Amino acid sequence: MDNLPVKNTRKFKTEEHYNNSSSYHLLPFRFHRITSLKEVLVNEIGDFLLVPIGTAKAIITKSFTRNENEELYGDLIANFFISETPIPELLDVLAVRYRTRKSFLDYFTSLHIFVITLRCEHTCHYCQVSRVNKDIDAFNMQKHHINAGIDLMMKSPNPDITMEFQGGEALLAFDKIIYAVERTKVEAQKYNKNISYVICTNLAPLTDDILHYCKSNNILISTSLDGPDYIHNQNRHRPQKNSYELAIDGIRKCRETLGEENVSALLTTTALSLKYPFEIVDEYYSQGFRNIFLRPISPYGFATHNDKKNKYETSTFLDFYKTALGRIIEYNLQGQFYREDYASIILKKVLTPFPVGYVDLQSPAGMINNVIVFNYDGKVYATDESRMLAEMNDYTFLLGTVEDSYEDIFYGAKALELSEYWLNETLPGCSECAFQGYCGSDPVFNYATQGSLVGFRPTSAFCQKNMEIIRYLFELMDSDKRIEKVFKSWIVGRT
């Protein structure tokens, strides 16, 4: 028996094999300090480890040994931070995981925004869009432009398409919406597309006929609610000063007819809103919403004309965000499900292997790849914000007109030029950032705020906001396991 050769198996290796692993090879990962005690390591596929400060240094300088901390060593191997072979045996798994992270690119453009009219009966000081209240057809999308837009939409390789109607106030041109939906229904059958319809509206012009049409065509309603009446009515001017009342009444009617799940609301945070984080969170809850999207004002269009009301430091917004987030977490800790959407988008990227279809936090950027805008005048823009710049006579992100060919718009010279700037993997300040995989690239924001498509991270509001929110989410998860549980419930959508 003693002479029998030692049989090597794949499953069981000798004890020496495991003890002799003081030399290892690094795999791509990045790190960032979370608190004075902890840092986070994030690998190429977005998996993370929260470790004591100094761990990254020990790992990278190879002064870390397996004997020093067997559990961490095991975590580092299992989570693809280090490898015992120069090329990891599970390289294919890493590649598939990477591919999954970028799977939002698989089907190309999904969201097609039709700016169906520029007319609006509100005069909001922060409006990101030029608006006209003249009751003339010149500011509505013309039928031949609608037709051409639908033709382009049908050429998208994506089988699942969202057709979103925006304004101005989209409901002021409801006849155009009906025309567009009816035509799309026919075309979608021809091209085998699943279409989700969304109307963005302040709900003021809502009628029973509109509601019934939405009901029979499964059209979702996305509206605006800026908080209690004293905030909403201040932000959203109407001559009758009743924007809040109309929005609340409209939300109720939409829920009754369309069902709760088919009505959503968006918050715009103005300088006034920053004083009322608790009140805004409580208002959404008391109006029956179980989610809220705490988003700062966009630096475009009319929003830039009123500095006093609309410009605020990013740090002030972050204070507001953290206070409001704390309030939302309180609701959850008391047993109520109530989700903050921006955090949920980031948390899904942090805690799952999957990407999120949110165009402002993607790399490659959401522009063109995931969203395209057909303006009321037939011009095609890379993003919603791009057409807002165009209303300020800046046509940097104009891709063409709806009458141009699909190839010229989506793969043309302008799209190619913009593609130089839409990867955060290649941007200065982002290329070695630990949060790269959780964040995104937004050339339109860079251009609008800093005059450069590349942007300048040290003063970028986009960078400052996202770095701090992502860091803060890690800090919260690390500080209290109950909060981590709440965050996980936001991803799966239940308590």
Positions touching other proteins (CB under 8 A) are 25-31, 44, 56-57, 60-61, 87-88, 91-92, 94-96, 98-99, 102, 106, 428-429, 432, 456-459
Q: What are phi and psi of 454, to 5 degrees?
A: -70, -40
Please, which residue, 412 or 429, has the CB nearer to other proteins? 429
Of 68 and 432, which CB lies nearer to other proteins in the complex structure? 432
Comparing CB distances to other proteins, the nearer of 265 and 439 is: 439
Residue environment code for 391-424, b if the CB has 16+ CB neighbours within 10 A, otherwise e: beeeebbbbbbbebeeeebbebebbeebbebbbb
| Shortest Å distance, C-beta 463 to other proteins | 10
Q: Cβ neighbours of residue 228 under 8 Å, at least 6 residues apart?
A: 244, 276, 279, 280, 283
Residue number, 110 or 270, with CB nearest to other proteins: 110
Side chain identity, residue 232? H
- Bridge partners for 269 per DSSP: 296
Q: By C-beta, is 386 or 424 nearer to other proteins?
A: 424
Residue 432 Cβ vs other proteins, minimum distance, rounded to whole Å: 4
Given the structure tokens 């986070």, which residue do they identify? Answer: 40
Amino acid at 200: C
Q: Please, which contacts does 354-358 make with residues 24 or more away whose CB atoms are closer than 8 Å?
A: 354/100, 354/101, 354/103, 355/100, 355/101, 355/102, 355/103, 355/104, 356/104, 357/104, 357/110
CA distances from 34 to 37, 40, 225, 461, 478 (A): 8, 6, 33, 19, 9
Three-class SS of 208-242 = HHHHHHHHHCCEEEEEECCCCHHHHHHHCCCCCCC
Distance CA 199, CA 39 (A): 43
CB of 27 to other proteins, least distance (A): 6
Q: Whose Cβ is closer to other proteins: residue 224's or residue 363's?
A: 363
- What residue ranges in 257-362 does DSSP mark as E strands? 263-266, 291-292, 339-340
Q: Considering the complex, what minimum distance in angstroms separates the CB of residue 420 from other proteins?
A: 18
Pairing, β 379-381 against β 398-401: antiparallel
Task: Identify which of residues 379 and 457 has a Cβ nearer to other proteins in the complex.
Answer: 457
Nearest CB to other proteins, comparing residues 87 and 416 = 87
Separation of alpha carbons 354 and 404, rounded Å: 35
CB of residue 355 to other proteins, shortest distance in Å: 13
The CA distance from 433 to 483, in Å, is: 25
The tokens describing 55, both together, are 């761990």
What's the rounded Cα separation, in Å, for the pair 64 and 83? Answer: 13
Q: How many residues does the chain have?
A: 495
CB of 314 to other proteins, least distance (A): 13
> Closest distance between other proteins and the C-beta of residue 191, in Å?
18
Please identify, using beta-carbon distances, which residue of 464 and 489 lies nearer to other proteins.
464
Q: Which is nearer to other proteins, 326 or 429 (CB)?
A: 429
